[in-house]
Amino acid sequence: MKVLVVGGGGREHAIVWKLSQSRLVDKIYCAPGNAGISEIAECVSISVNDFDALIDLVKHEWIDITIVGPEEPLANGIVDAFEKEGRKIIGPAKIAAQIESSKVFAKEFMRRHRIPTAEYKVFTSYSHAEEYIRMKGAPIVIKADGLAAGKGVIVADTLDQAFEGLKLIMKERVFGDAGSRVVIEECLIGEEASYMVFTDGETILPLASSQDHKRVFDNDTGPNTGGMGAYSPAPIVTKQRESQILEKIIKPTIYGLKAEKIKYKGVLYAGLMIKDENIYVLEFNCRLGDPETQPVMMRMTNDLLEICLAVSNEKLSTIKPQWQDNASVCVVLASAGYPGSYEKGKLIKGLEEIKKLDNVYVFHAGTAFLGTDYVTNGGRVLGVTALAKEIKSAKELAYKAIEKIHFEGMHYRRDIADKALR
């Protein structure tokens, strides 16, 4: 079979890498892809939001199924466009993707279906939002309503930080129209975890638990990013807590959407805050997490294409999840200045040395070729991912591999997975 993966980041590289192991796959295309992906797939220079060009590619190349990585095309209706043309595609329709594309939709949905989440209020007026923040005090969380590449959430520890964040979102519009409405919510304190499932609208296939590291600096300091590293499994997601997540969050979400005449097919991601025996939803995503996908795919022994076909054909009940009984850690190497402004085109050295290592794989996120050399082409550049018997040894292996890699301004956190070792 021929498969198209839409996207060009680390998540998409991990998806392509996993698909390349499938006995069912004859050829993989990726649009637009990146330098690393081009080593195992044919990269096509088409924007993730150019639906007409993507559909033309699928028709011309006789591609059997398309898998969407990033949230933006899902929010813009890529699934609706493909299905109108009778083409197989994995992901939720535009109306279902609102679970991520609108924080307001998600919060109000959770309220209707009694899904545990933080107390909140919605504002379209800057002055009313400012007044509410002053009344509630800090710490407090401010979220842009729309998509902001994982950066639209400001966790303010002080009132000054809160007012500055509100100004950035609503007045300066650093996230564009995503900041026309904001959700202001209480700041939940606990430990975060990521929980992802595949679903065909009826059956739910859980993926291995994982934990992301959102803040740019060690000890969870600095601004939010798209993710600076992840590990799987997340020890805090015990069997008892996993049962609670499925029964009180995942099932009520998928079946609640169905009750509202919205069929949800694809991946549902719940970003969770765990405090004692209470589990709250911080956010929902309508796709696989990045960088959580990297360690999760390293551990998966299922054929990913078989899962995707089962989702598309609504036969997910025939698939049983299979995981390696070990751990994986991914550390993101970022450009200097990320998540703010950064330079591109920095020469990357050492990647050929990594290929000689066992149980280590470097997933490319923001890379390109300059001649035959790899160069930086994004904020998050690489995801060095290691597999080992336990989290401690996987972490050590990942950081040892990083010592072989260099590019000007390379920045990474040095405490990825530390929480799992406490």
Strand-strand pairing, 380-388 and 360-364: antiparallel
- Please indicate, yes or no, whether residues 211 and 309 belong to a single structural domain of this protein: yes
Angstrom distances, CA of residue 78 to CA of 47, 50, 104, 265, 278: 12, 9, 22, 13, 36
Question: DSSP characters for 44-81?
Answer: ----TT-HHHHHHHHHHHT--EEEE-SHHHHHTTHHHH
Domain membership flag for residue 106: no
- Please indicate, yes or no, whether residues 255 and 301 belong to a single structural domain of this protein: yes
**How far is it, in rounded angstroms, from Cα 155 to Cα 300?**
33
- Please indicate, yes or no, whether residues 14 and 35 belong to a single structural domain of this protein: yes
- Please indicate, yes or no, whether residues 206 and 276 belong to a single structural domain of this protein: yes
- Please indicate, yes or no, whether residues 306 and 345 belong to a single structural domain of this protein: no
Query: What domain range is 158 assigned to?
Result: 119-186
Q: Say how many residues make up the chain.
A: 422
Question: DSSP characters for 209-227?
Answer: PBEE--EEEGGGEEEE-S-
Angstrom distances, CA of residue 73 to CA of 52, 70, 76, 217, 394: 12, 7, 5, 30, 34
- Please indicate, yes or no, whether residues 262 and 345 belong to a single structural domain of this protein: no
pTM: 0.95
Residue 351's CATH number: 3.90.600.10
3-class secondary-structure state, position 271: strand
Tokens standing for 1?
């079979």
- Please indicate, yes or no, whether residues 182 and 197 belong to a single structural domain of this protein: no
User: Exposed, middle or buried, 223 (CB in 10 Å: 0-12/13-18/19+)?
Assistant: middle
- Please indicate, yes or no, whether residues 331 and 417 belong to a single structural domain of this protein: yes
Which of 162, 186, 210 is at the close of a domain? 186
- Please indicate, yes or no, whether residues 262 and 283 belong to a single structural domain of this protein: yes
- Please indicate, yes or no, whether residues 180 and 197 belong to a single structural domain of this protein: no
- Please indicate, yes or no, whether residues 352 and 302 belong to a single structural domain of this protein: no
Sign of the CA dihedral with 313 first, then 243, 196, and 16 last: negative
Residue 154's CATH number: 3.30.1490.20
Whether the Cβ atoms of residue 156 and residue 140 lie closer than 8 Å to each other: yes
Whether the Cβ atoms of residue 224 and residue 214 lie closer than 8 Å to each other: yes
Domain membership flag for residue 104: no
Domain membership flag for residue 258: yes
Beta-strand ranges (E) seen in 35-188 are 42-43, 65-68, 89-90, 120-123, 140-144, 153-156, 182-186
Beta-strand ranges (E) seen in 252-346 are 266-275, 278-285, 327-334
- Please indicate, yes or no, whether residues 10 and 127 belong to a single structural domain of this protein: no
**How far is it, in rounded angstroms, from Cα 235 to Cα 295?**
14
Which of 318, 336, 362 is at the close of a domain? 318
- Along the chain (422 residues), what's the average pLDDT of each consecutive run of 10 residues? 98 98 98 98 98 98 98 97 98 98 96 97 95 95 87 90 94 90 94 96 97 95 93 96 97 97 97 92 96 98 98 97 96 97 97 94 98 97 98 98 98 96 86
Whether the Cβ atoms of residue 305 and residue 3 lie closer than 8 Å to each other: yes
Residue 20's CATH number: 3.40.50.20
Residue 166: predicted pLDDT: 95
Whether the Cβ atoms of residue 12 and residue 5 lie closer than 8 Å to each other: yes
Domain count along the chain: 4
Tokens standing for 51?
């639906």
Whether the Cβ atoms of residue 296 and residue 193 lie closer than 8 Å to each other: no
Query: Element (H or E) spanning 374, and its range?
Result: strand 373-376
Domain membership flag for residue 61: yes
Domain membership flag for residue 206: yes
Residue 408: predicted pLDDT: 98
**How far is it, in rounded angstroms, from Cα 404 to Cα 410?**
12
Residue 224: predicted pLDDT: 86
